[in-house]
Every structure is written in structure tokens, then in C-alpha cells.
Amino acid sequence: MFRFASPLFLILLGVIPIIFYINWNKRGSLTGNSSYQYSSINISSIFFRDINSSKILSSDVSLIHSYKVLSSHVSFMITLFQLIPILKYAALALMIVALARPQWGTKQVDVTTEGINIILALDLSESMAALDFSSKGKIINRLDAVKSVVNDFIMKRDGDRIGMVVFGSQAFTQLPLTRDYNTISFVLERLKIGAAGPSTAIGDAIGISLKRLQDIKSKSNIIILLTDGSSNSGELDPETAASIAAEQGVKIYTIGVGKEGKAPFLVNDPVFGQRYVYQRVDIDHETLKRIAEMTKGTLFTAEDVATLEKIYKMIDNLEKTKVDVKSWAEYNELYLWFLTPALILLVIYMLLSNTRFIRVP
């Protein structure tokens, strides 16, 4: 990253055009009213003798050639003389830029925060394939709706560790606690319905989540448990698991997703091919409510994407972490890159002004 450590000196660059303008008006030209002027050269009429008659002596031809060479040299010297003041102004401009201390460096940002630990416990049971959600005018299943909203929630967090537990008939850790939000998003996108079995083990999901929260200590630990069914599998009872969570000071937010009753599913029929069938799906709101109350959390229900988005936004606002950001940078000085050529131009200007192009009062 490039910067000027003392940028106020750059204001002095505006003085250069003023000086140039004053000198121009005072002297009438860039070279000024110098006595170093090239006088007109009187050429003897011998050069043009008998030109009309095309009778030019060989000596005359030589003189004419010498005159042309001299004129070319004089023209070059006059141009060079007029450019000498530019060396002075260029040197002055480079010195001013050097005074502004140009620097190049890399800015570093340190984030100091303890953060909180968040476990996303997501239901992958077969009922999550119900097609009762829509997004942008397109019918989608429950898991796809959840993926989109949860991904937005993840990317809004800053400094918190997030882990992921998935459950169906069994529960297992999909991702341990991490601050690598891109990896979490990558893993989330690749979750598949039925990957953990067809049933719903809510108690086991809470139990595995509690184990993951013990991996890294934090002042605040929460579980966001999302399901669309009732616990009908697993070894650990949901309320027993919630009791353990309460003892450990872990808060659980429970989310019941989807509509109760019959919901459409897309199935592959061996005779009729793909077709839609309606199956009954029941959500155990009472158990989810008790889990939330026992752990000082909150129960939410979502029957559409908009409500689901509001729920995760509410949780995001409720569980905020104070982040201390300290920025610092290391810069290398670049003023020598401007000061050195400025001094070189100044030396050239002084040499030419006091030797070949010296001004005679």
C-alpha cells in the first residue's frame, strides 16, 4: 500500500507554476532576458554569387555546407538553452515529493476477541425432503431453504467459533469448532438428506453438540438446533440432554421448521416414475419448547423462508460478541528514489548554467 507520511508538503507543488509564471512575465520567455543570445550571422554575398547563372565555385559550395551545419548546431544549442530551466523546476518538484515522505508498506489488522462457541445442529432426516418451501418463485425442499439462510447467518458472524453437528437416526460431528467460515459454508452446501439415517435423534444431537463445546472453552456457548420432526431415535432422551446442557451453562435455541400435517414429497415410483405424494409430518413443539426453557433459550417456528431468515437474524442480534480491532502497518521509506534524481538534475543544471550556457551580465 502506497502513502505519503507528510502529504501537506505536496501543497508546495502548487508554488512551482506560480514561480514559472512570474519568471515568464518578467523575462518575456523561458530563457529570460539573457545576454547569451545568438547574433545573426552575416553571410557574405559571395555565397550567392552567380546563383542565377548556376555558376557556383567549389569553394562556395563548401562554405554553404559549413553554414548549414553551423545553423543546425545553433538551433540545437538554442533549444537546449531554453530547456535548462526545466531541470531546475523538475529538481524542485522531486524534492517536494521527497519531503512528503512517500512510503510503501503492508497494513495489518489484529482482531482480539474471545468470541462465543456456536454449534449448528441440523436435522438431515428424510422428512427434510418435504417440498413446502419456496424461494424466488421456485419450490424447494426444507433442507435447501435451511442451507441458504444458515449460510447467511454464518457469513455475518465475526470472531465466533462455529461447529456443525448433523443428525438423523444417529448424530455425528460434521465440523468441529472453527473460525474458517468459508470452510463451514463449503461443508454446509454439501449436506445430503438421509446422510445420518431416516429418523430423528434430537437427544443424541444435543449430546454430541455438548461434547464439541467442551473442546474449546468460552464465556458463552450456544446450540442452534433445527428440526422438522419429533425425537424417535437415539440413545439419549432430549430432556435429559437439555438438563445436562443447563448444568453446563449452554443455551439452546430450538427451531421447528416446516408446516405440520401433510406435505408434498417427490418420490421415484418403480411403476409410475417420479411423482408427488403427500405424507404426514409432525413437529414436537412441546419438547422443543421444554429444551429451550430448560437452557434459557427460545423456541422458534418457521413455515417459510422469510420467517426462517427473521429467526436467524434475531439469534444473530441476541448473541453478539464484542470485537477489539487493532490495525498497524510497516512502511519502507521511498524518499531517496525522488531525492537522488532531484540532486542529479540540480547538479546538471548548475554545471550547464555556469559553463557552456553561462549568462553574461
Structural domains of the chain ordered from first start: 2-106+331-354 (no CATH), 119-322 (3.40.50.410)
> 417427490: which residue's cell?
266
Q: How far apart are CA 343 and CA 229, in angstroms?
A: 81
**How far apart, in Å, are the Cα atoms of 304 and each of 84, 131, 154?**
78, 11, 20
Q: Choose among 276, 247, 279, 237: nearest CA to 262.
A: 279
Q: Which residues of the chain have pLDDT under 70?
A: 27-82, 107-114, 321-329, 356-361
pLDDT recorded at residue 66? 55
217 sits in the region (left: phi over 0; alpha: psi -120 to 50; else beta) called beta
Are 314 and 299 a contacting pair, CB within 8 Å?
Answer: no
pLDDT recorded at residue 20? 80
Are 258 and 129 a contacting pair, CB within 8 Å?
Answer: no
pLDDT recorded at residue 349? 83
Are 173 and 165 a contacting pair, CB within 8 Å?
Answer: yes
- For the four alpha carbons of 238, 244, 245 and 247, in that order, the dihedral sign comes to positive
Helices marked H in 260-335: 285-294, 305-318
Q: How far apart are CA 300 and CA 316, in angstroms?
A: 14
The overall pTM is greater than 0.75:
no
User: Would you call 299 helix, strand, or coil by DSSP?
Assistant: strand
pLDDT digits (tens, 9 = 90+) for 7-27: 999 999 988 888 888 877 776
Are 206 and 173 a contacting pair, CB within 8 Å?
Answer: no
User: What ranges make up the beta strands (E) of the chain?
Assistant: 2-4, 102-112, 117-123, 133-135, 138-140, 161-167, 171-178, 221-227, 250-257, 261-269, 273-281, 299-302, 324-333
Q: How far apart are CA 103 and CA 64, in angstroms?
A: 58
Longest dimension (CA), the chain: 128
pLDDT recorded at residue 346? 87
pLDDT recorded at residue 49? 46
